Chains A and B, each alone.
Chain A
Amino acid sequence: MAKLVPLLAVFFYLVCVSEAVFEDQVGKFDWRRQYVGKVLFASFDSPSQSSKKLFVATDKNIFASLNSRTGDLFWRHVDKMGPEGAVDTLLVNAQDALMVIGDGRLLRSWDTNVGGLNWEVVLDTGSFQAACFVGIQDTVKHVAVLKKTAISLHYLSNGHQKWVENLPDSDTVKYQAVYSGGGEEVFVLGMVPHSHLTITVYSLEDGEIIRQRSVEAPWLSSVESSCVVVGRGVLMCVDNYTQALYTLAIQAEDSPQFRQVLLQSLDLEVSQDFQPVLVSTQPHPARSPLPEFFLQLGPDHHILLQLSEDGSTIAPLRDFQPAFLVSFATTGEKTVAAVMAPKNTTDDLHCRSRCFADSGRRLLDTTVIFPLDANGGKPQKLYVHAFLKKDDSVGYRVLVQTEDHALTFIQQPGRVVWTREEALADVVTMEMVDLPLTGTQAELEGEFGKKADGLLPMVMKRLSSQVILLQAWMAHLWKLFYEARKPRSQIKNEVTIETLSRDEFNLQKMMVMVTASGKVRSPGVSRCSDEDKSLFGIDSKSGTILWKHYLENVQPNAAFKLIVQRTTAHFPHPPQCTLLIKDKDTGLATLHVFNPIFGRKSQISLPALPRPILQSLLLPVIDQDYAKCLLLVDDQYKVTAFPSTKNVMQQLQEMASSIFFYLVDSEQGTLSGFRLRKDLSSELIWEVVLPTEVQKIVAVKGKRPSEHVHSQGRVMGDRSVLYKYLNPNLLAVVTESTDTHPERAFVGMFLVDGVTGRIIHEAVQRKARGPIHFVHSENWVVYEYWNTKSRRNEFSVLELFEGTELYNSTVFSSLDRPHLPQVLQQSYIFPSPITTMEATLTEKGITSRHLLVGLPSGAILSLPKMFLDPRRPEVVNEHSREENLIPYAPEMPIRTEWFINYNQTISRLKGIYTAPSGLESTCLVVAYGLDIYQTRVYPSKQFDVLKDDYDYVLISSVLFALFFATMISKRLAEVKLLNRAWR
């Protein structure tokens, strides 16, 4: 008997093991896409045609190297989230990439070849202003970092500080720029707004101040935004108010003065309400900048100007209007200026480039056409990679960054080499939608869908659909025959929107993802918050982006809810998804209705939503077009229905008294329930108030409406049944105490009926605090918290049972369940913190459930729910063994073979989405964060699928052999019987 216990335990472990993938299955059912986020700085490796590297630093605090041929990642370094790891600047010089990180906290140098860290130094405190390379005689040996109050010079080879000097009068003077033109001097430019500009010149050798100059500049408000250094040390500033350019030789020994050049004298005019911008280029840090520079006069107006050799006159070289973006690139001795201009007024943008050498004005015109996606954003930034061809002419490639954070790499004469959708690094929410049926299947479906009108037309319809089927079959055969002649490698299996169709087991689905990234950059860097909202349609089998839609005019700080109103099951009607976009500040909402398969916006009249929306709920009420009804509750508790056809309104009025909804106000700590009235107003029917002085509501979760529960109860060891308490209206409300003292902190778990407001269960987890991750499904809630006393992460599971008898076995009504359920609870120690948690979901709910736990390491653990069962016995007995309960162990194991994503870790995992497939055993899983990972899991193994190596030959030969054996033996027996009869 005693031996049986460990044996049993081993058996259970064996049952749960064998979930890991085999080596030959890697990448067969799963894929991962890695992203870097919105690019802030980009730089190309070397000015040769064969160079493949592209370096980017992004708003996700990532420094990465991309293969410019394919767009794949060479390597990627993910730093801390938040301002601590924010990239202030990126400077690339030959083999070294220098980064200032965390508002001047760290200075790092990377080896660009392999992506290794050369060195890292901690800088003195003070907010970062600017940095530049300092070189003499064509070699760059130092880097200067300008902070608010000090300037420091570091060796490029090892990061050691050569000298650090405090800036004079740093409390009044704003230092904003540092410049080195290849000499023995480092220039620091500071200014007092609307008063004067100061030039402080430091000696490169020992950091001594060589000279200090102050120049009157009452028009100057910012050096950073309106001044550049052009030519041999000439500071060029532009002022909008006086409509003039100002030049100043900063290297001048005597007291210099700004020289005013009125724009009018150059026949130039700034557009209305536009702050003119200067763009110059310094091809090599050890040499002075070029005398040519761009002046932007309007949103689509640029002009190329040249400063004469002595710095006295400015001459316009060429006017570009319209032109959205300009950029410089240098290769060898040649510098290219690229200008992006729209081609005609069509959607195509083309990018023309002018090439000019240092001395002359030999202008070359070549064009690269950049096709602008109608569903994408406008181009935002332009990076040019210029290189010398073999015949010494200049060739170039262009990297365009658009508003939707997409990166497009283009070659001459307009071939898109690759595109990266970096918006997908920030997925907010997603849904999976079934793919539509194939044309032939749809034809058959359509036949049943149509209304019957007489016998003859029915026959005709049947015949016509049969003909179509025959046609499709012939086409299929022809295709097979045609492809059989071609070598196998040539057959491409590309997924396009046209070829999309549901597979046999509905394993391939459309992933609709909503992305939003709006990061307010750290202060000191003049990039303001910008928003990006996009919708993506991704094929779940291959990860191919099939469509995308850029949502313009979305307020920053918006919340999203993606709702599938009509699935693909109602054939003649296209599937319909609705994205509810809610402004978090005002609460005003807008709807975006689209077809999830093709991404097209639906031409449906949207309801006017003049008031803030508090709650949205999807009713099972279906209109005549099979779209589910969406109810939107505004702040006056009035309800708007969408779609609001007559049919729906009629149904709503009939059902009004049985439509309940709840609202949560976490600031007031109130949960309140409402009932719909016939006139679509609503009445308050219950209210629960959790005093905010004690605890605050952190999260509220109901159950997923698509969830199926197969068995109503659990058979116990003594053959009696313990019925589950399956309340579809149950809400799990999690609170955290306002008192954060480790001894008094607690986490509250309330189970509230969403219809009656009855508190089914309330429990407090003492000495615990968040962050809480929890899953609410079937009759259980699993939550994870931090134990402040023992300093560890713990899991707790709550299960609700009605008892051994059902109150009303036919239907569940919240209004008629007077008895409270039995609540069982158990807690376990979990040896790792977690980032997110989700439960597997299958078609019919027969398959046992697993919890998918995202760990900070990027792994996803598939934890069998069997281990989180409050009925796990302390002491094993006959009944618990009969029931296959694992004996209680306080620590939850983490087995590496439970990691469903083997070595494909997901950086900054944010959420896991699960969806059922057509196969009961299979659940589709999508994990998103910085990366996106899709796979399938089989919680109870593939019990409904024959194995890959299933021996069909053996089975069929055995069958045939048996069949013939029976035939022969039957014959023999007959003969024998006959013989016996004759005897």
Chain B
Amino acid sequence: MASGGPSFLLLSMVPTILLLCIDFACCNTGRRTSDGLDTDFTGFSVPLEHSFEVDDVSQFRVRGALQLRGGRETSVSLSQNQLSEEDRSTLKEVAAVDGLYRIRVPRVSLSADRQSDRPMDGFLTAFVRACSLVESHLSDVITLHTDVSGFLIGVSIVTIPGACRGTEVEDEVDLEAFNTTLNVIAPTNAPQPETALFIERMDMENEKRGKPQEQKSFFAKYWYLILGGAIFLMASSSAQAPAGGAEEQQS
């Protein structure tokens, strides 16, 4: 019990940094054995099952247990077993024939008030290519998606890195324990049209525009030009006037 607490605190920080939209998450290196199963959490646990067969006929076995805790803040943690010798060799064989590694979780509700109708039939399944799981040394990211009311609607698994490059994994130790990151993603709220901000901005612009309107008038601004022009006109007309007068006199 004691071990559950600290690790839960410590590891909870990692994924929240990774992704913004995570409600809460926890992961477990899997080196601890199944002591997490007998629990005094207020929540409940559901099995996480996996299947990898050479002939691709799915036979799900327990991989670990998801500890779900409802409430105001949903939290999920995962405790999982190590892969046995037999499993490791099967996984490598499956990877060699480009088979699939599947996981499944039962359909449950994460929210506390719905736990009465928790047992829903059916599973949510997802898969990843077995070779990429092997090549990533069992480091995978499992994401649980919930809908608005807290029902689990989907599960997804990806490995990091995700590619199959055909590199041999020699070291058996690499395939012993899962290095799992667990996320829970709830739907985000789509934005509404931003009317308030826009109106604020318009007001600010209007204010800005309002100030220059108190600017000097046309005459106030260009009085020197007008004055200069007027003087020039007057000067030129007064210069011409005597000449005209002279002509008149001549005639």
A-side residues, CB < 8 A to B, are 2, 5, 657, 675, 677, 683-691, 694-695, 737, 746, 748-749, 752, 756-759, 761-766, 787, 794, 796, 808, 815-818, 820, 825-829, 874-875, 888-891
Contact = CB atoms under 8 A, between A and B. Distances in A.
B132 A815 contact: yes
B193 A827 contact: yes
A808 B161 CA distance: 12
B156 A875 contact: no
A685 B102 contact: yes
Given A2-B208, A759-B154, A816-B163, A748 B194 contact: no
Given A683-B56, A749-B190, A888-B198, A688 B153 contact: yes
Nearest to B194: A890
Interface of B: 19, 56, 58, 98, 100, 102, 107, 120, 122-129, 132, 141, 143, 145, 147-149, 151, 153-154, 156, 158-164, 185, 187-195, 197-198, 201, 205, 208-209
A734 to B, nearest CB: 12
A815 B129 contact: yes
Chain A to chain B: the 4 pairs with minimum beta-carbon distance, closest first:
A758-B156, A688-B154, A890-B193, A816-B162
Overall SS of chain A's interface: strand
Contacts of A758: 126, 143, 154, 156, 158
15 contacts: A2-B205, A685-B102, A685-B125, A685-B127, A691-B107, A691-B147, A737-B148, A746-B148, A757-B125, A761-B188, A766-B189, A818-B141, A827-B190, A829-B193, A888-B198
Given A684-B125, A757-B126, A816-B163, A694 B194 contact: no
B49 to A, nearest CB: 13
A939 B162 CA distance: 39
Given A737-B148, A748-B147, A764-B187, 9 more contacts: A2-B209, A685-B127, A686-B125, A686-B127, A691-B151, A691-B153, A694-B149, A764-B189, A818-B162
Contact of A759 (B145, B159, B191): B145
Contacts of B164: 816
B147 A889 contact: no
Q: Counting chain A CB atoms within 10 Å of each CB, which of B145, B154, B189 scores highest?
A: B154
B211 to A, nearest CB: 10
A818 B156 CA distance: 10
Contacts of B193: 794, 827-829, 890-891
A227 B19 CA distance: 78
Contacts of B148: 694-695, 737, 746, 748, 764
A686 B149 CA distance: 22
Contacts of A820: 19
A818 B158 CA distance: 6
Given A691-B151, A874-B197, A763 B188 contact: yes
Contact of A874 (B147, B201, B205): B201
B124 A687 contact: yes
A752 B126 CA distance: 12
B190 to A, nearest CB: 4
Contacts of A685: 100, 102, 125, 127
B208 A890 contact: no
Nearest to A789: B192
A675 B128 CA distance: 13
A765 B148 CA distance: 11
Contacts of B129: 815
B123 A687 contact: yes
B229 to A, nearest CB: 28
Nearest to A746: B148
Given A694-B147, A818-B162, A874 B187 contact: no
Given A686-B126, A687-B124, A826 B154 contact: no
Contacts of A765: 189-190
B181 to A, nearest CB: 11
A762 B145 contact: yes
B125 A816 contact: no
Given A759-B154, A890-B195, A796 B127 contact: no
B189 A874 contact: no
Contact of B198 (A689, A690, A890): A890
A689 B107 contact: yes
Contacts of A683: 56, 58
A762 B154 CA distance: 11
Contacts of A828: 193
Contacts of B205: 2, 5
Contact of A816 (B132, B189, B209): B132
Given A689-B107, A764-B148, A826 B191 contact: yes
B35 to A, nearest CB: 31
Contacts of A818: 141, 158-162
A889 B198 contact: yes
Given A685-B127, A818-B162, A890-B193, A759 B156 contact: yes
A695 B147 contact: yes
Nearest to B209: A2
A904 to B, nearest CB: 32
A216 B159 CA distance: 86
A794 B58 CA distance: 45
Contacts of B147: 690-691, 694-695, 748, 762
A694 B124 CA distance: 17
Nearest to B195: A890
Contacts of A826: 191
Contacts of A687: 122-125
B125 to A, nearest CB: 5
B105 to A, nearest CB: 11
Contacts of A762: 145, 147, 185, 187-188
A810 to B, nearest CB: 12
B82 to A, nearest CB: 23
A688 B124 contact: yes
A890 B191 CA distance: 11
Contacts of A2: 205, 208-209
Contact of A748 (B120, B163, B187): B187
Contacts of A746: 148
A763 B198 contact: no
A817 B162 contact: yes
A542 B141 CA distance: 57
Contacts of A756: 126-128, 156
A483 B161 CA distance: 71
A677 to B, nearest CB: 8
Given A746-B148, A762-B145, A762-B185, A689 B191 contact: no
A690 B198 CA distance: 36
A689 B190 contact: no
B162 A815 contact: yes
Contacts of A889: 198
Contacts of B132: 815-816
A808 B163 CA distance: 10
Nearest to A672: B125
Given A764-B148, A827-B190, A827-B192, A757 B162 contact: no
